[in-house]
Amino acid sequence: MRKPISVVLIALMVILAAVLITNSFLQSDAAVPKNIILFISDGCGYNQVEAASIYQYGEPNKQIYATFPVQYAVSTYSFSGNGYSSDSAKANFDYLKRKPTDSAAAATAIFAGVKTYNGFLGVDTNKVPVENMVERAEKLGKSTGVITSVQFSHATPAGASVHNSGRGNYEEIARDMLNSQLEVIMGAGHPLFDDNSQPVTEANYRYVGGQETWEALTAGKIGKDMDGDNEPDPWMLIQNRSDFQRLMTGSTPKRVIGVPKVAKTLQQSRSGDDKADPYIVALNDSVPTLAEMTAGALNVLDNNQKGFFLMVEGGAVDWSGHANQSGRVIEEEIDFNDAVEAAIAWVEKNSSWNETLIIITADHETGYLTGPGSGVIQSTAGEKKFVINPLKNNGKGKLPGMEWHIGEHSNSLVPLFAKGAGSEQFHQYADETDAKRGKYIDNTEIAKVVFSLFEVK
């Protein structure tokens, strides 16, 4: 009896070994990106994407990423929420208004793969720091950068790179970012300029780490060793639009922090009629576009042979959503889309889809944006009937018919688009189905994909 069993065992072991070897071959054949560029349009749902497309092109789905091979919806709820239910969203118009995530918890989910309380950045529900994508990429010897159209110490860039149980601790967060291993930081928050890029009489150093930090930064005296040679690697600070544009070509410094001469946002907070149609109020022309910042950041980060991770946030899409500004949300989303186009142009000129992965998504929707005439149309006993109408297409260059339902975030699913090396890894997580949006993943699964591709061996 003994002999046959051992024969069977040996046969099984041979089969097992063969399976393992085949698997490891398959794995080494699977596309692993050298570079990952993750775009977050903060506060951008399906209708914000569509509104910008209708305005810019006269029809929906004309953005450059509309042709990306991987497209799913994403659930965004945080640990402070109640999850997401397709049935509830279908049954009750008000369901999506309830218990949305904030940008801090969403950033922790997207960049670290952990659901946490609203307000928590890069820490779990016990306030324990959790590894983020910037730290993982640095562990692999890659370069890293975070850029945004709002203050650089705001929730999304902070959640990609540091840890804090209070998203409002901007000074501390800014200092932690400046003391991290990041190679590129870009965003608003300039202490000496207002929202129209005009000098202020009273400086506000809150978003750049305090007055002392700012003064040390302008003197080139901030920045720890980031490459392990025990020499400090000070940040080079740039502020003028021409300096951002210069960064887009030629040789670049090791580390760059770009703080354009503007307070809260590049454009969205400028004065003038904030409910005007897009571009009626002149843009601040002395600050860079998000596309210029993205192209500059890529030119710095691609110095590293081991690759890079870059996070680009359209941060003020959310802010215009909070304020229900139909014109400005379109301006902000187009600025974001232009940044995506700049990254795609970089991939096609300087890299390839075999070595770079681009992911485009949002952290949550803001404003519960629909087409006109949506909402509860009648209430009968125990049953509310409602419609959600599409945006009204008024033609290219014309503001579409849009209707906002709240001034806060919603619990709506948001879109995700991906292309390039490893993008097929998203398919395995698309195991839930929404009545409206089809297959969807959870925001924590974006981190699962990135961490599996940026694996520490």
Residues that bind Zn ion (CB under 5 A): 318
Q: Smallest distance, Å, CB 170 to Zn ion?
A: 15
Q: Smallest distance, Å, CB 12 to Zn ion?
A: 56
* Nearest residue relative to Zn ion (C-beta): 318
Q: Smallest distance, Å, CB 231 to Zn ion?
A: 40
**Host H or E run for residue 448:** helix 444-453
DSSP structural state of residue 25: H
Residues 6+ apart with CB under 8 A from 324: 367, 404, 407
Q: Smallest distance, Å, CB 418 to Zn ion?
A: 24
Among residues 248, 246, 217, the alpha carbon closest in space to that of 234 is found at 217
DSSP structural state of residue 66: G
Q: Please, which residue, 314 or 422, has the CB nearer to Zn ion?
A: 314
Q: Please, which residue, 63 or 268, has the CB nearer to Zn ion?
A: 268
Q: Smallest distance, Å, CB 364 to Zn ion?
A: 7
Q: Please, which residue, 281 or 323, has the CB nearer to Zn ion?
A: 323
CA dihedral of 46, 49, 54, 57, whole degrees rounded to 10: -140
Residue type, 219: A
Q: Smallest distance, Å, CB 391 to Zn ion?
A: 21
Among residues 420, 272, 288, 299, the alpha carbon closest in space to that of 360 is found at 420
Q: Please, which residue, 189 or 234, has the CB nearer to Zn ion?
A: 189
Cα–Cα distance measured from residue 297 to residue 287, given in angstroms and rounded to the nearest whole number? 15
Q: What are phi and psi of 6, to 5 degrees?
A: -65, -35
Q: Please, which residue, 318 or 332, has the CB nearer to Zn ion?
A: 318
In order of 137, 142, 181, the CA distances from 34 in angstroms are: 10, 9, 18
The answer to whether 75 and 416 have CB atoms below 8 angstroms apart is: no
Residue 312: count of CB within 10 angstroms of its CB = 31
Cα–Cα distance measured from residue 153 to residue 167, given in angstroms and rounded to the nearest whole number? 9
Q: Please, which residue, 415 or 422, has the CB nearer to Zn ion?
A: 415
The answer to whether 95 and 405 have CB atoms below 8 angstroms apart is: no
Q: Please, which residue, 320 or 356, has the CB nearer to Zn ion?
A: 320
Q: Smallest distance, Å, CB 278 to Zn ion?
A: 20
